[in-house]
Structures are given as C-alpha cells and as structure tokens.
Structure 1
C-alpha cells in the first residue's frame, strides 16, 4: 500500500507573525546601515576639515607682511646703553653660532639730522676693513672682547663708537658701508649690518646674560617694530 506524505497545515496567524518579524529585522538592518553611513560621512568630513585647517592658514591669522629672512634665520638680541646712554646695538645669532652685529633702530646716531654720513673701520690699533680671514680655522681672525671698538660712525654733528658686543673672533666687516654709509640709515638690520663675529660657545653663554630679547627691547625702549 503506497504511503502518501501530507503537508502540515500552516497556521495563518503564526505565518503573519513570522513575516512581520522578518520585515522588522530587515528594517533594523537597513536603519543600522544608514546610521553607519551617516557616521562614516561625518567622520570623513571632520578629517577633511582638519586636513584643510592644517594645510590652509586662516587668512585672519596671517601677518600683514611675511617674516623677513632675518626673522626666519636668526634669533634677535639687543644690548642697550652700551658704555654710553643711547648706544643701542643688535646681535642677530644664527643657528651655526655666527653673530651679526649692527645698530639698533633706537641708536642715537639715527636721531641726528641727516642720519649717518660716514663710517670708519680704522679704530683702535688696526683697520678692521683690511681684515682677511681664511680657512676652516679662520686664520687671521681678530680676537675681540665685548667692548672692543668695531668702527666709528659719524653724523653731521657727532661721532659714535660702535662695539663688538660679544667676545669672539671678528670674521668680517661690511666693507660696502665705506662707500655706501647710507645703508645704515635705510636698512641697518639687513644690508647695513656692520660685522660678523663667531663667539665660542662658553663665551656666548656668558655674553648672553647681558643681552635682552627682541620683546624685552621693544618694551624697554617703548617702540613698536
């Protein structure tokens, strides 16, 4: 006798519950996927904004003019009223230890009518302009103390002795100033520098104690540069 398989009778209510459950699960999966997408989009936008802020400076925070080569490559120090009132000088120190020496904006010479008209490197016992240094050992470099006379600058009515400011080896003087002393009036902190000196590390550490920073100089002299 052939046995026939019979299908189980389906309960309509149970089938409806199962179908509703499947739909709910499907909706929850879609909802989770949508939340994950939104979260990922938000994170991507945040990363993009952060990168943009790093690469593109805020225009409002940019300086009116770009920093000069001196500001980028040197640390500025000053010495004020050196040996006499109003004898203010700058010392720009490079990372390699070299120090550029010159007249600070508040030096008395700049207050005289007509400014500086002449510079003479023949002071003390030798003419600094004939100094010829050569080789890695800086042969022929003149050893100087901080108060060693470097040159004499003159205006129409007065002369001023400019000093080395730091103890070290005088490597060169700016001979260009002999024929173009007006550079001291127009760009004393650039083309109008006076000399370059290389102090020993120990000497620099000691000299630095008598110097002031750029911010301290501005505050002391009440100037805005």
Structure 2
C-alpha cells in the first residue's frame, strides 16, 4: 500500500528546492524559530533559582586562613582579568560580638582610599604583593587586616566602607567588596594555584 503522506512530503520538499523565493522564506522561518528558542527557552530547562550577578560575571576563588587562621577572603575573577577582593562569609571578623564597626584604609605607609588611578594606562596605580595590607576591619573585640591575596596593581578601594562599614554584613560579596586588583597574567596563574574554587571551599568549610 502506497503511503500518500510520504509522497506529499516529497512533493513539498521538491517545490521548496525548485523555488528560490520559497527557499529564502523557509530559511527565514528557520532562523526565526531558532531565535525564538534562544530568546524564549523552555521553562522546564531553567534553574529553580537564577544565578546571581557574581555567579554570572565572575569565577569565585577563596583564600582560606590567609596569613592567619580564620582570615578567609574571596577573590572574584572577571573575564577581563580584574580581581575583586573581599571578606569571605566565614571570616572570623563576622563572628565577633557587635559585628564590624569600622573600616580603615590608612594602613602601611599610605592611605589606600586617597589613591586615584586614571586613564587607560592606570596612572598612579601601585603594585602590591599578595600579603600587602588593603585595610583594617575593626570590631568591638579587635581588628583584622584585609590583604590583596594576589600580586597586582591596586585600581581602587571601596571607600564607601568608611562611612558604611555595615555593607560588609549586608552584602560583603557585592557592595561590600574591599578592593579591585589587576594582576599580570603570570602573577594570576601563580596566585590561582594557591586559591580554592567555590566547591572546594564549600567542602572545606562545610557551608
């Protein structure tokens, strides 16, 4: 018994192949279908919780017990090479009674908050070592030094923390970051070997 549906499909394919106008229309329809699938993905394929801005734009690394026990810091690496430095959620400062009360960028031989980097060549940027102090975080029980974690040029510090130290409590991984560092590729590779990825860090701290 002859399958008429197969014959009809063959005729349709043949008519498309022999008609340039129809070919262009078919190609356009295929492109529109592909674009619609890209812009409107199947809801069943979407994650239950959308990724955060940090998860979307950065790769997260951590320096646990940096210099001293409990001094956990994060290094968020952007695709352009910039590294955002801040306090990891398990940093010992968050465990002190009364929380963080002040942030002081006047450490070492200079006040980091007055350093102003300008232009594409990053004029005035200072080259710091991984253990160079960025600021001092104060609590009712003591104070803690926050360090660079990676060797590179200091592009800016988050001087909002001077007036709003509470940002470290409410959004340490976003508005409460401490500084932005630009390491050279070779220096980054060296630093990366000493850092932990997100999953390894979670496993280490059981968080």
Fold match by TM threshold 0.5: yes
**Structure 2 length-normalised TM:** 0.82
Residue 3 of structure 1 corresponds to none
Task: Give the 3 Å change call, closer, same or farther, for CA 54–142 of structure 1 in structure 2.
Answer: closer
1:174 matches 2:145: no
Q: Which residue of 2 aligns with 1:32?
A: 3
Note if 1:208 corresponds to 2:192: yes
Root mean square deviation, CA, Å: 2.3
Matched ranges for 1:182-197 at <5 A: 182-197=166-181
Displacement of 1:111 = 1.1
**For the pair shown, which has the larger CA radius of gyration, 1 or 2?**
1
1:85 and 1:127 mapped to 2: Cα distance?
Answer: 26
Q: 1:57: how far off?
A: 4.6
* Distance in 1 (alpha carbons) for counterparts of 2:7 and 2:40: 30
Deviations 1:84-121 (A, max 9, x none): 11100000011110000000000001111222110000
CA distance in 2 between partners of 1:34 and 1:150 (Å): 74
Taking the aligned partners of 2:5 and 2:81, their CA distance within structure 1 comes to 61
Alignment of 1:49-198 (within 5 A): 57=41, 59=43, 61-198=45-182
Give per-residue Cα distances to partners, 1:130-173, cap 9 Å, x unaligned.
Answer: 00111111111111000001100011112100000000000100
User: What runs of 5+ residues in structure 1 fail to find an aligned partner?
Assistant: 1-27, 40-46
Larger RCO: Structure 1 or Structure 2 (Cα < 8 Å, ≥ 6 residues apart)? Answer: 2
- Report deviation, 1:192: 0.2
Q: How much has 1:68 moved relative to structure 2?
A: 1.2
Ranges of 4+ aligned residues in structure 1 off by more than 6 Å: 50-55
Q: Which residue of 2 aligns with 1:199?
A: 183
TM-score with structure 1 length normalisation?
0.76
Q: How many residues align?
A: 187
